Chain A
């Protein structure tokens, strides 16, 4: 056993904006249909922010997690926000959240690993917390994807939603939640999903026109997920001495219900072990895993401290993908 201190998941919280856009709502300006969207993605509706920023959503999710744990914000030493839709390049979303919740002692920064962001941020937070003098870390996945999608592009506009999920990590506890991880990147395929590109702009150059919106090659991403994710899940489970049958739930990034079904089929694991809430929230990128985790805890399917075994798996732009093996 190394000198690493134990870190466990203490509480989880989520927040989504009130405004709901159904598939039928989208047909008012897009040539699409509820049947098309539902059958190909599983999405029936998504929550869209009308006034709240990414930091606002993250703040509310963080408040929720702190409240459930009964932990004061001053006790938090680290705030990491995973996002690909920050409010600004600077200040980071994490710094705004740190101020909003009053975590005056905390260091704070953002991580961008697109839809894998929550897995990346959790991996970093667990290690930093373990090696640090502080007791609590907040890991938040928060997105306002509605500001990065092109609302005239029916191939992407129908897919995304806004929301945030927060997880409070605690050190020096009886349980070590983070049993193993297997995390990857492949920048050589980065052009398969591009968002928020900015052009070179200075007195010495001619500014190029760039598409600032999210653009995605559906087949390339589908292909990437179907080849990389089942292998990744198998690795994180088997390298840590477990079988797929030992895992209670696989919490996959909620990108597409058909994709989740395909992964379940490849792994020969029943679809019931792959919980989904994509029908209500759409693809909320880095927020999808903590929102799902919170839903499952509220539903009673998952109990913190129960010793249940979970795999949390993110995949998306970068390209990035990765899994965490979690013992609750």
Chain B
């Protein structure tokens, strides 16, 4: 599974969305109605899944932003 697919799965589960609704360009707050607590939970699950630490949710607006962040941490 690619980083995107794993993150897509986490977001789909947390926000009760369909996979098609969660694409790389999807904006959490604007398109998925996610608020700060949703983001905390998504970040929390991603930290556990990839065994990394995400210090701040600032600058993470789209699914692609998170995929990039995670890939940089893993590199």
Contacts and interface: CB of A to CB of B under 8 A. Distances in A.
Question: Are A and B physically bound partners?
Answer: yes
Interface of A: 39-40, 218-219, 222-223, 226-227, 256, 258, 262
B23 interface: no
Interface in B40-64: 40-41, 44, 57
B44 A226 contact: yes
Contacts of A227: 44
Contacts, number: 20
Nearest to B39: A219
B35 A226 contact: no
B1 interface: no
Interface of B: 35-37, 40-41, 44, 57
A262 B40 CA distance: 11
A183 to B, nearest CB: 23
Contacts of B41: 226, 262
Contacts of B36: 40, 218-219
A35 to B, nearest CB: 11
B35 A219 contact: no
Contacts of A223: 40, 44
B44 A39 contact: no
Given A40-B37, A226-B40, 18 more contacts: A39-B35, A40-B35, A40-B36, A218-B36, A219-B36, A219-B40, A219-B57, A222-B37, A222-B40, A222-B44, A223-B40, A223-B44, A226-B41, A226-B44, A227-B44, A256-B37, A258-B37, A262-B41
A262 B44 CA distance: 11
Nearest to B35: A40
Contacts of B44: 222-223, 226-227
A203 to B, nearest CB: 43
Contacts of A39: 35
A252 to B, nearest CB: 16
Contacts of A218: 36
Contacts of A226: 40-41, 44
16 contacts: A39-B35, A40-B36, A40-B37, A218-B36, A219-B36, A222-B37, A222-B40, A222-B44, A223-B40, A226-B40, A226-B41, A226-B44, A227-B44, A256-B37, A258-B37, A262-B41
B5 to A, nearest CB: 21
A40 B36 CA distance: 9
A223 B57 CA distance: 13
A319 B57 CA distance: 23
A258 B41 CA distance: 10
A115 B35 CA distance: 25
Contacts of A262: 41
Nearest to A220: B40
A218 B57 CA distance: 13
A102 B41 CA distance: 48
A24 B46 CA distance: 36
Nearest to B48: A227
A258 B57 CA distance: 19
A114 to B, nearest CB: 21
Nearest to B41: A262
Nearest to A41: B37
Contacts of B40: 219, 222-223, 226
Nearest to B44: A226
